[in-house]
Structure 1
């Protein structure tokens, strides 16, 4: 979810970097390439998520999720997903657009609240029909379905009942929910992701209160939260997410793998971290940033426990795994999904460890540069993607990786001439090709996002879409941007250095 980059800008102390000093990265990657330069089995796609696109919030039996509650509290820039892009009703024409674009795969999430409105128990027939038809139509158009099981939208009824991810009860309910998904859709879905941006979800939701369920405690967070404990809840929620993920993987391997032959992974936000200077302190702080953002989840999944520096700085505030939990957790993923947007520059900040009360951010003992807020456009730093993939190869044994999100943010001003997005995608896909040639085990790439959708930060004012959604039109008509034409041109086998096709629609729309 691209919002996470901006959540970080909202929630951390940022030293504004100089973009001009970083432009040299653009020229360090492959500039000219075709689809055929990538392995035939490599998959290219795009994606969205349920709450951001579906709408129909209380239609056909769906109940509220924690994202609904968060949005209706006014914390989501005063907007909500009650209608969103009306994807619940317009999915047939959206899939036609996907096919026209040449997508080989589409990443989407299932709304737990739509499928099982009470959080557990009876399956909603209407919700089941919707996702069955959605998946069938994707496959009929030659598009692989890649499913995220939870994208910030735990059913609100479970949050109210026992505190959601703060309770171990969430593990059992999550496993029951994914069991339904595996049973009902697993004959056609081969790629399952348990959680989207698990690392940023627990920070935004339980430390900064910038995402659902909007919990934090003073002096941390966004000043608007009235409940929570920023010092301990992020660690507790992350612990339960890891246990839930591991249990879901174990369920799939024991009950469904032999018959369905699918794969289950987890998704994390992956910044490229670079030391701001060549001082030893900043180099060490950079590794600490990687340990807290990636290692917090990856180390347990690979080695069975949290990184030593995370345990040391968090102390008694971070839960411990039992020996049995640790053993079960090792190797409990078939792939890693990463969302990557930009590079951050790290400076050591040991003073934060001297605070009487600390949250996760203070435990990291560092500050960042490289993002200017409000973010209107990411700098084009594709070497950062190469470095992330190289780090994962070296640190975690080169696991199978899907780049689930990568894309350029721009204001939703109605223009279809999004040349900066084309420049960004062209550079990052070139960097990906270079990483593959250097041995990265990356299996797929998904542009975020297929269309302009509700964003967690920025609402409908900041857009990542290949397709513009005309919100002034009651039909919410979709129009291809220049980037959609470029991506389609690439997917259909043309050289990326060739002349881009001209747009077939008017260039701008007034909202």
Structure 2
């Protein structure tokens, strides 16, 4: 199906039909769209593969060399969190060893973030020299080993732009808004009853819309600064990142199909429509009413086209059921305005893990191609969650990666302008909502060991084999990983 990208009602009808068609293909939950056997060589020559971490989850050294607490520190040290990132993986002191692991694994690129409270401890004013030195040391070590610096969240163009090729202004902007200002489950945990969790301050009915609007204006301002002062000199790129489920109707009724499009408009279109079309989706404006700020003509021009790429964090597929009854309430938050219920059907999934539904990846990428004119895309995060105390034989992570990378390849072959894939995460990290009990890493971190020793999992071998050109199929990949993990482990650590 070919659809010209526009925000017209006709496009909405065609997109709804496409959503239902793809939902039928996704229903078996095992990725019927996914290529069964492939290699890295099947991707375009300049397609980038990497992995990532984030500052608070990996760096540690929370009170060293002038760093001050951030809102993540505040929440992590509250009763609402399990543990904290005071030490985390101690990459602040172990960055050279971790870069060596990245090189051994075969990563093209490493995606990481800057801790502003390390770089600018007072929030504004002078730069902390020791914080600046740390990031320069990390960047230089990566460059020395030929690893591309990719998608550093936030902006430090002047100091690092000569070595960083891609920048992301805000990570998971929709989660920041919904989690931080509507439901209140993530920093700064603002919300109001009855919409959020254990709310103490905030207004879930209006703050999310105000914050989202300001995030988009701030993003556009940062992009304008980069393009005006730095892009011509550094030849880099800049974009925005958001979290995206693949959403499929619970039934083939018109109500559920329309609710699925409405949910996409609230979760994705709320942020991407302004970047592509210069304004919010009509349904968001209609349902939110006066609580949704409006763009001036100048702001609309600034926000529109304020990206070189869009980054997606995708993990799961959900079903959508119509809930238009929520619109009958006079006092609503974003979820009520969306008038749809998201259904997690994970009954048969092993505890602590995500379902493996690779076709959702192609569905999301196809949606962006059809709805938004096929913009340059990067998969910034994708990976399987397991319990941290699970053995190194993480076969479910291999199956997950095999399926989702294969589905990404299917999307690329079908014309998606997707240019890179970053596994989340490179190491087992401190997780805000799970502490050290859950993990996503290719490398196990022994948090009980004072030295925080790293050990490769089966998935590290599998990903390394793929990155170095090996043919991949689901069962074969798991079998070969089991056979070769000990040999590869010894070889990869003999140089340390």
- Tell me if TM exceeds 0.5: yes
- How big is the shift at 1:371? 4.3
Q: In the alignment, which residue of structure 1 is the partner of 2:342?
A: 368
Q: How does 1:288-437 map to 2 (within 5 A)?
A: 288-372=262-346, 376-437=352-413
4+ residue stretches of structure 1 with deviation over 3 A? 21-25, 371-375
The answer to whether the Cα contact below 8 Å between 1:422 and 1:482 also exists between their aligned partners in 2 is yes
Q: Which runs of 5+ in 1 are unaligned?
A: 1-20, 151-177, 507-511
The answer to whether the Cα contact below 8 Å between 1:23 and 1:380 also exists between their aligned partners in 2 is no
Whether 2:97 is the aligned partner of 1:93: answer yes
Q: How does 1:114-153 map to 2 (within 5 A)?
A: 114-150=118-154
* Distance of 1:277 and 1:371 partners within structure 2: 14
Give 1:503's match in structure 2, choosing from 485, 490, 494: 485
Give 1:285's match in structure 2, choosing from 255, 259, 263: 259
Q: How does 1:68-87 map to 2 (within 5 A)?
A: 68-77=73-82, 79-87=83-91
Give 1:476's match in structure 2, choosing from 442, 452, 458: 452
* Distance of 2:229 and 2:32 partners within structure 1: 48
Q: Deviations over 1:302-345 (max 9, x none)?
A: 11111110111111111111110001111000000000001111
Q: In the alignment, which residue of structure 1 is the partner of 2:424?
A: 448
Whether 2:11 is the aligned partner of 1:36: answer no
- How big is the shift at 1:86? 0.7
Q: In the alignment, which residue of structure 2 is the partner of 1:184?
A: 159
Q: Deviations over 1:138-169 (max 9, x none)?
A: 1111111113334xxxxxxxxxxxxxxxxxxx
> TM-score under structure 1 normalisation?
0.87
- How big is the shift at 1:258? 1.0
Q: Which runs of 5+ in 2 are unaligned?
A: 1-25, 491-496
- How big is the shift at 1:462? 1.0
Distance 1:390 1:125, change over 3 A: same
- How big is the shift at 1:24? 4.9
- How big is the shift at 1:99? 0.5
The answer to whether the Cα contact below 8 Å between 1:148 and 1:195 also exists between their aligned partners in 2 is no
- How big is the shift at 1:257? 1.1
What is the SS of the residue equivalent to 2:472? coil
* Distance of 1:215 and 1:371 partners within structure 2: 28
* Larger deviation, residues 66-75 vs 417-426: 66-75
The answer to whether the Cα contact below 8 Å between 2:33 and 2:410 also exists between their aligned partners in 1 is no
Distance 1:421 1:433, change over 3 A: same
- How big is the shift at 1:375? 6.3
The answer to whether the Cα contact below 8 Å between 1:270 and 1:294 also exists between their aligned partners in 2 is yes
Q: Deviations over 1:242-273 (max 9, x none)?
A: 01100000001111111111100000001111
> TM-score under structure 2 normalisation?
0.90
* Distance of 1:302 and 1:329 partners within structure 2: 8
Q: In the alignment, which residue of structure 1 is the partner of 2:193?
A: 218
Q: Deviations over 1:418-460 (max 9, x none)?
A: 0000000001111111111100000100000001101122121
Whether 2:177 is the aligned partner of 1:195: answer no
The answer to whether the Cα contact below 8 Å between 2:265 and 2:283 also exists between their aligned partners in 1 is yes
What is the SS of the residue equivalent to 1:26? coil
Q: In the alignment, which residue of structure 2 is the partner of 1:112?
A: 116
The answer to whether the Cα contact below 8 Å between 1:452 and 1:465 also exists between their aligned partners in 2 is yes
Q: How does 1:227-266 map to 2 (within 5 A)?
A: 227-266=201-240
* Distance of 2:351 and 2:234 partners within structure 1: 42
- How big is the shift at 1:372? 4.0
What is the SS of the residue equivalent to 2:279? coil
Aligned residues: 455
The answer to whether the Cα contact below 8 Å between 2:84 and 2:432 also exists between their aligned partners in 1 is no
Q: In the alignment, which residue of structure 2 is the partner of 1:159?
A: none
What is the SS of the residue equivalent to 2:423? strand
Q: Deviations over 1:164-191 (max 9, x none)?
A: xxxxxxxxxxxxxx3xx10010001010
* Distance of 1:459 and 1:362 partners within structure 2: 31
Q: CA RMSD in A?
A: 1.5
Q: In the alignment, which residue of structure 2 is the partner of 1:3?
A: none
What is the SS of the residue equivalent to 1:486? helix
* Distance of 1:208 and 1:412 partners within structure 2: 27
- How big is the shift at 1:58? 1.3
Q: In the alignment, which residue of structure 2 is the partner of 1:170?
A: none
Whether 2:59 is the aligned partner of 1:54: answer yes
- How big is the shift at 1:356? 2.9
What is the SS of the residue equivalent to 1:444? strand
What is the SS of the residue equivalent to 1:273? strand
